[in-house]
Amino acid sequence: MTRLFDLKLAALAAGIVLPLTMPALAQDAVDLRMAIWSANDAHLKLFNSIADDYKKTHPNVSVKFDSLAFDGYTTTLTTQIAGGNAPDMAWILETTAPDFVSSGALLPLKATFSGTAGYDLDDVSQSALSLWTQDGEIYAYPFSTSPFAMFVNNDLIKAAGQKTPAELIAAGQWTWDNAIKVDAAVAATGKQGLIVRDFDYKVWDNLASIWNGWGASPWSADGKTCTMTDKPMVDAMTFIHDAIFKTKAIPGPGISADFFTGDAAMTITQISRASLLPKDKPFSWDLVPLPAGPAGEYAVVGQAGIGVFAQSKHPQEAADFLAFFTNPENSKKLAQFFPPARTSLLNVDTLAKANPLLSPAQIEAVVVKGIATGHVKLSHANFPEIQQTARAALDALWTPDADVPAVLKSVCDRIQPLLQQ
C-alpha cells in the first residue's frame, strides 16, 4: 500500500455498505461518540449542553465528545476506522477532506438535513459545502469556517518600545517586515515574538498563514506539480528561516511558549482560541488581520467538517444528532467559537452577540472580511502521506545553517511522486 492509509480499503475491510440500518427502538439505549481535536473546557461545555438539549427529546441517546490530540489526529482516527472502532461522528480537517469524502466511509447526509424540520439547508453557503460534497451528495457539514488571524499582546509590545499592530494598521504599515521587527524587539527583552500555533516544527502546512502573503503554494492548482522550489515559496521560507535563526522573532525548535499565558507578543491562530485568553492577570490584547506580504493583503481560512461514519452501529441516529447539532439555533451558539457556514449568521451583529470577547470592529476586519476574501487551507488526496513525507524532508530546514532552496528541492523530490498518484 503506497498511501499512509486507505479509507476505501478500511471501509471494505469493515464490511461497510451504506447502511439500510433502521433507527433503534425508542427504548434502546444509543451511545454515540464524536471524535474531536479540542480539549478546551469552554468548547466541551457548549457541546455537552447541546447534547443535553437533544437528550430532552431523545432520552435514549447519549453523546460523548472524545478529545484526541491534534498532532496525529487523522492518523489516530484512520487507525480506529481500520481497526473496526470508528467513532460514530468525527471532526475532519480540510486537508484530508478529499480522502474522506471519496472514501465510502462517510454516510450521505443530504436527505437527513433536508428532512429535518427547520434545518434550512439552503442557508448553508455552497462555497463552504464544496469541499464536503461529491456528485451532489453531502458527506460532512462544515461547522467551522474560520480565518487565521493575529492575536497580539499590546503590553509586551509597548514594553519593548514598539508600535502596536493597531497603530501600524492605522499608518498603513501592517506588513510582515514590520511585524517581524516588532516580534524581534519583544524577543530581545526575554519574552518570545511570534508563535504560529499548532506548527511546532511538525504541522508545516500551518505555515500557509505566512507563505500565502508571498502568493506561495506547495503545489500547483491542479495538485499535480510540486512548487516548493518556485520563487514565492523560496522567498517565504527564507523569510521564516531568518525570523527563527537570525532575528529570533519566532521561537526556535524546542522552545516552549504560550501566547495565552503572556509569553509572546503575537500568535497566529483562529478565533476559537479567544476562549484561552486569561481571565486572571489579563493583559491588553487585540485581534488583527494577518500582515500584508509582498503579494499584498490576504486571508487564510481553515475549515473543519463533521461527518458520520457508515461503520457506526447507529448511523441514522448519529446523522439525526448531527442535524440537531448544526441546526440554525445551535449554529448560532457554536458561532461563539466556530464561524458558521450559514449565510444568515455571517454578519457583524450576530457574530458580535455570539463572541462577546471580540469587538464589532475585530469581527468585521478578521472574521467577515476573512471569510469573504480568504483562501481555504490547502488540501490534497492522500494528504496525510504527503504531509508526513514533506515534514521529514523539512526537518533539515530547521537548523541555523540550512540551505533553504536545497531543502525545498529535496521536498519536491520526495512528494512529487505522491502528488501524481
Q: Is this structure's pTM higher than 0.85?
A: no
Identify whether residues 142 and 152 lie together within a single domain.
no
| Exposure on the CB side of residue 253, measured as CA atoms within 13 A | 12
Q: What is the mean pLDDT of residues 390-399?
A: 97
Cα 61 to the center of its chain, rounded Å: 29
- Distance in angstroms between the alpha carbons of the first and the last residue of the chain: 12
Which tens digit of pLDDT belongs to each residue from 116-145?
999 999 999 888 899 999 999 999 999 998
Q: Which three cell numbers stand for residue 188?
A: 530581545
- pLDDT(263) > 50: yes
Are 100 and 206 members of one domain? no
**Domain assignment of residue 137, yes or no:** yes
Do residues 261 and 399 share a domain? Answer: yes
**Residue-level pLDDT at 7:** 56
Report the pLDDT value the prediction gives residue 27, as an integer from 0 to 100.
Answer: 62
pLDDT higher than threshold 50 for residue 91: yes
**Average pLDDT value for residue range 276-282:** 84
DSSP code for 175 = B
What does the DSSP assignment read for 353-414? HH-TTS-HHHIIIIIIHHHHHPEEPP--TTHHHHHHHHHHHHGGGSSTT--HHHHHHHHHHH
Tally the domains of the chain.
2
Is the pLDDT score of 3 beyond 70? no
In a domain, 58, yes or no: yes
Best CA proximity match to 207, nearest among 259, 171, 244, 175: 244
The residues near 384 (Cβ < 8 Å, ≥ 6 apart) are 3, 4, 5, 74, 75, 78, 96, 99
At 22, the pLDDT band (50, 70, 90 cuts) reads: very low
Q: Which of 11-20, 71-80, 97-106, 378-387 has the lowest mean pLDDT?
A: 11-20
In a domain, 62, yes or no: yes
Question: What per-residue confidence (pLDDT) applies to 172?
Answer: 97
* 352 part of a folded domain: yes
In a shared domain, residues 318 and 238:
no
Which residue is associated with the grid cell 511585524?
179
Q: Tell me whether residue 121 is in a domain.
A: yes
Which of 72-81, 208-217, 272-281 is least confident? 272-281
SS3 at position 336: coil
pLDDT reading at 264 higher than 70: yes
Instruction: Report pLDDT digits (tens) over 182-214.
Output: 999 999 999 999 999 989 999 999 999 999 999
Q: Which CATH number goes with the domain that contains 109?
A: 3.40.190.10
396 and 364 inside one domain:
no
Residue 1 falls inside a structural domain: no
Over range 218-240, report the average pLDDT. Answer: 97
- Both 30 and 73 in one domain: the answer is yes
* Residues 197 and 273 both lie in one domain: yes
pLDDT at 66: 97
Query: What domain range is 386 assigned to?
Result: 148-299+380-419
Whether the Cβ atoms of residue 281 and residue 208 lie closer than 8 Å to each other: no
Judge if 252 and 323 occupy the same domain. Answer: no
pLDDT at residue 57, as a whole number: 96
Cell 472502532 found at: 85
Confidence of residue 21 (pLDDT cuts 50, 70, 90): very low
The answer to whether residues 325 and 356 belong to one domain is yes
pLDDT at 9: 45
Q: Report how far residue 382's alpha carbon sits from residue 9's, in angstroms, rounded to the nearest whole number.
A: 13
Average pLDDT over the chain, rounded to whole? Answer: 91
Q: Is residue 385 part of a domain?
A: yes
Quick check: 298 pLDDT over 90?
yes
Mean pLDDT of 336-355: 87
**Cα 283 vs. chain centroid, distance in angstroms?**
26
Q: Are residues 268 and 338 in the same domain?
A: no
In a shared domain, residues 219 and 231: yes
pLDDT tier, 18 (very low <50, low <70, confident <90, very high otherwise): very low
The 10s digit of each residue's pLDDT in 148-163 is 999 999 999 999 999 9
Q: Do 339 and 231 share a structural domain?
A: no
Within a domain: 344:
yes
Binned at pLDDT 50, 70 and 90, residue 77 comes out as very high
